[in-house]
Amino acid sequence: MTTSASVPAGAESATAGGGTVTDRLVEANRRYAAAFGDPGMDARPVLRVAVVACMDARLDLHAALGLQLGDCHTIRNAGGVVTDDVIRSLTISQRKLGTRSVVLIHHTGCGLEALTEDFRTELEREVGQRPAWAVESFSDVDQDVRQSMQRVRTSPFLLHTDDVRGFVFDVRTGLLREVDPARPVRPPRNG
């Protein structure tokens, strides 16, 4: 399979002439900007939806959801977990930019399923400081989607919590599977 990030066989670097990956991205931006025209859009998403998803490189959210530029706000992090910063972004999205719906997308084969909170301890040993943030690892992707839906629905900062739906994206088939929010949310595991 070839992707835009693929490097031809035998190539020593990600860009011609030995530049860095960032150099390659900057050059791609120059080509993009040469043909760019101001789309004349407002910052408010046309579909009034915010999508919270994992940062996994295998998820092309716009293609998977049939979205175009300007349709939605996209908030991504490791695991697609609803953290305080995600609530911050959703609050701004709803209160200042008019979104009304929230779509949460986790996926199969997520790297957070292989981590534990011990990762924080490992970092502390390595750098001498314990991170203030939680890893938010999980072993049951459906349960983690339910927990994320619950965090959105119970946030006092969000105005619109009626249309909050959660899904698991299958990285092998490209299909979304909706998660039933009715099952009870267990407390997050420690460790």
Mean pLDDT, the chain, whole residue set = 89
Alpha helices in 15-140 (DSSP H): 21-34, 61-65, 84-97, 118-127
User: Going by DSSP bridges, is the β-strand pair 176-178/164-169 parallel, antiparallel, or unpaired?
Assistant: antiparallel
pLDDT tens by residue, 47-104: 999 999 999 999 999 999 999 999 999 999 999 999 999 999 999 999 999 999 999 9
Long-range contacts of 176-184 (CB under 8 A, 24+ apart): 176/64, 176/105, 179/142, 179/145, 179/146, 179/149, 181/146, 181/149, 181/150, 183/142, 183/143, 183/146
Does 119 score more than 90 pLDDT? yes
- Please write the tens of the pLDDT for every residue from 14-61: 545 678 999 999 999 999 999 998 888 889 999 999 999 999 999 999
99 and 45 Cβ atoms separated by less than 8 Å:
yes
Task: Indicate the pTM of the whole model.
Answer: 0.84
Q: How far apart are CA 100 and CA 93, in angstroms?
A: 9
Give the length of the chain: 191
Question: For position 9, what pLDDT does the model report?
Answer: 44
